[in-house]
Chain A
């Protein structure tokens, strides 16, 4: 592996460019490089690992039991990549992926304050998951953050929130995070579980598969540990953060009764959804997944998107967890190698067979979790009008409902013109799913019919100065000379 610290050192062209150095990107890069392809692995973080293995090579957390044994599995993926010739560019944001004139792709990259256009014949997007936005009244107060953000600070800096900490939401990660933070010394005064009780009815049919899944043992262990040690409250139907300058408490409704729990930090988590901004902006078709309740790129068995030459591996193509992400990265790399003429179809199929078996195993039982931890309607489409939905432009749920009904706005792209939601620097990462749910609710249609934002590059901001100084590409130079 060759680590690049300066953008000028990148080649003009690579066989494969892979975006994101989480499990999917790491294994895709390793596999592609092992097959003799020239590989660029670009990642915006300073060290490899993605979210799940964040800071695995640099974390100050040395007690291995704090982050759990699964965390340390990431080391093997990185060691494998280190043995290859792949080019790894940390701290490098990819702000655009678009078709180029030569039938390949042009990537817009930014590293160390300098921008550059680089060509790649094949693209694998391994941009992973993001936490599902979870707007409640007061969620923009200092002291309120997502549970995932707290985990980032723990992994990369070994820090936990100070003072009385409340964790609220639903999903298996909630229990994992609560357990990790408690083990690291956080003072967790309440774990507020919003899992709707009726979800059990929907999930029960998928239970037999779950019984044979790798999740079962892990999940049971997590649950019993967390429940035994932490102050759990289930059946939460409504949440509001309280405070003026900073969060001082959380108002909780359970079983019709409301109480306020005093706290200094409130961590919110409502599961994870695919991070689709780059694949959406690149033009890859997206569909609404009614089970996982989120937008997901449309991919085939080889994780190829609707745009020939762009594959999407890992949680960015649908939530499946770290183990499946790594396997999906392998499969996507094999098919990219086939498209580049490096493998025949038969060779590709043969090499992929064992990985596919592993993938099926790793995904078994997933449906049960998806059904069980599907967020309640009240957290997908916030009922309180004053709840801020778009943080960039401070647009509330009430404004969105009003604009959808009074002005007849039928989709999120039209909503942009009226309220500017989704037009701030996050480009809808934080408001998109909620805006879609609210519009769908007002018009009594499904989110699938409502559609999602058409996103625009740059998917990550670059400065005007960086763009103004963009070196001309070989093609542009030739065009001028002619």
Chain B
């Protein structure tokens, strides 16, 4: 396990889908990579999220990364030799009333002006064609037809396996304790001894603020625990993933019939113990939304509920790109409960920036300097 070199071209800290994707893409570009993960790849947010592969309703600052990622999702099997359970039946944002639909229209118009055409306004008839089980009261919505869902831990592990196959040295169960400058290198201290590289990527998720603080770039990262529930298998009744605007909901049925219910209600995260505590009061509200929208679900047995530990930034946007202070330091964290879809593309863009110094994919608005400069 602990054989191999301790000096390398790039050290990636964190084995979530972002760290694993960045490690893979660095390896594909011929860089020597060591990835250091304190638990196992995908143990936290990347392994236990809702698995939504969604371009729909993203902040404009994220859309270029999201588009890059979606292209990779649609050829994920050839990239990582595993289909990652990816299915593409679209995602639908359901408008609950006319006012809601008006906001949808304004959003789609705005995207069109910016040159993005992946979101499409739909009327009541198209909504019912796509989501026959939805309550009759809903007047329409927005669809992103290339969206879908995948299996989070499986996808993360596929990236890890492929990265390892391409020569990345994956060290799971190794905890980074400190990061510091050491001549031309960065010294990454761990409970398994030090590692050295001229470039490091901070992809440590809910623990990334500690790395950033070590580097003199403290960030206002909030540790959150978004909750999810899944039901026992139901007869097939819905193909696309459904989300809402006014109320929190993410809703989808898997091919095996089970139905996933989420949307970002938060439990309590105890990050130093890798543990979360659920808030059943909020899950009850989550269940009430489904009760209202999908009458077919009222008798469904809930089989499990859980929460993952994630990082949220105050503006709900990730920190992505170069350090504002140091040469050779790159940040890739704070995905604020919507980073899974971005993983494949963000890794590709990050590796491009590391290897070539820049990327054609714009990442304006995501820099760490938005927190560290004032």
Residues of A within 8 A of B (CB): 96, 98-99, 106, 108, 117, 283, 393, 407-411, 414, 416-418, 420, 423-425, 427, 456-458, 461-465, 467-470, 472-473, 476
Contacts and interface: CB of A to CB of B under 8 A. Distances in A.
Interface string B341-372: 00000000000000000000000000000000
Interface in B255-287: 256, 258, 261, 275, 277-278, 280-281, 283-284, 287
B302 A458 contact: yes
B301 A425 contact: yes
B281 A464 contact: no
6 contacts: A108-B280, A408-B161, A410-B40, A417-B42, A423-B258, A461-B232
B306 A462 contact: no
A424 B161 contact: no
Contact of A417 (B151, B284, B297, B298): B151
A464 B297 contact: yes
A465 B298 contact: yes
B240 interface: no
B61 interface: no
A83 to B, nearest CB: 35
Given A393-B256, A467-B284, A468-B290, A427 B304 contact: yes
Residue picked from B152, B275, B303, most chain A C-beta under 10 Å:
B303
Given A461-B301, A463-B302, 18 more contacts: A98-B277, A407-B161, A410-B40, A416-B153, A417-B154, A417-B157, A418-B154, A423-B258, A458-B302, A461-B303, A462-B302, A463-B298, A463-B299, A463-B300, A465-B299, A467-B302, A470-B281, A473-B281
B318 interface: no
Contacts of A417: 42, 47, 151-154, 157
Nearest to B233: A424
A425 B305 CA distance: 12
Interface string B286-299: 01101100000111
Interface string B117-156: 0000000000000000000000000000000000111100
B298 A458 contact: no
A414 B302 contact: no
Contacts of A409: 157
B41 to A, nearest CB: 9
Contacts of A461: 232, 301-303
Contacts of A98: 277-278
A407 B161 CA distance: 8
B161 A472 contact: no
Contacts of B185: none
Residue picked from B258, B284, B298, B306, most chain A C-beta under 10 Å:
B284
Contacts of A283: 275
A99 B153 CA distance: 28
A468 B305 contact: no
B238 to A, nearest CB: 14
Contacts of B306: 456
Chain A to chain B: the 10 pairs with minimum beta-carbon distance, closest first: A417-B153, A461-B301, A470-B284, A468-B287, A467-B287, A468-B291, A456-B304, A468-B288, A476-B281, A465-B298
Contacts of B157: 407, 409, 414, 417
Interface string B230-241: 111000000000
Contacts of B232: 424-425, 461
Contacts, number: 97
Nearest to B153: A417
B49 to A, nearest CB: 12
B290 to A, nearest CB: 6
Contacts of B47: 417
Contact of A423 (B291, B299, B304, B305): B304
A423 B301 contact: no
Contacts of A99: 277
A417 B230 CA distance: 14
Contacts of B305: 456-458
A456 B227 CA distance: 11
A461 B258 CA distance: 13
A424 B258 CA distance: 9
**Size bracket of the B interface:** 35 or more
A410 B1 CA distance: 14
A229 to B, nearest CB: 44
Contacts of A476: 281
A470 B280 contact: yes
B291 A464 contact: yes
A423 B228 CA distance: 14
B43 to A, nearest CB: 8
B253 to A, nearest CB: 13
A59 B230 CA distance: 38
Given A393-B256, A456-B304, A414 B40 contact: yes
Residue picked from B42, B275, B299, B302, most chain A C-beta under 10 Å:
B302
B149 to A, nearest CB: 14
A117 to B, nearest CB: 6
Contacts of A106: 280
B287 A472 contact: no
Nearest to A415: B153
Nearest to A427: B304
A444 to B, nearest CB: 15
A219 B303 CA distance: 40
Interface in B1-53: 40, 42, 47
A458 B304 contact: yes
Nearest to B277: A98
Nearest to B47: A417
A411 B39 CA distance: 12
Nearest to A473: B281
A469 B291 CA distance: 10
Nearest to B258: A423
Given A96-B280, A393-B256, A414-B40, A424 B297 contact: no
A38 B216 CA distance: 54
A279 to B, nearest CB: 15
B273 to A, nearest CB: 9
B163 to A, nearest CB: 13
A410 B172 CA distance: 12
A472 B161 CA distance: 46
Interface in B287-335: 287-288, 290-291, 297-306
Contacts of A108: 280
Contact of A464 (B154, B258, B287, B304): B287
A423 B306 CA distance: 12
A414 B280 CA distance: 26
A425 B233 CA distance: 9
Contact of B281 (A117, A414, A420): A117
A464 B280 contact: no
Contact of B303 (A410, A423, A465, A467): A423
A227 to B, nearest CB: 44
Contacts of B231: 464
Nearest to A108: B280
B256 to A, nearest CB: 7
A407 B162 CA distance: 11
B90 to A, nearest CB: 24
Contacts of B291: 464-465, 468
Nearest to B261: A464
Contacts of A473: 281
B284 A420 contact: no
A404 to B, nearest CB: 13
Contacts of A465: 287, 291, 298-299
A467 B290 CA distance: 11
Residue picked from A108, A427, A467, most chain B C-beta under 10 Å:
A467
A418 B150 CA distance: 12
A408 to B, nearest CB: 7
B281 to A, nearest CB: 4
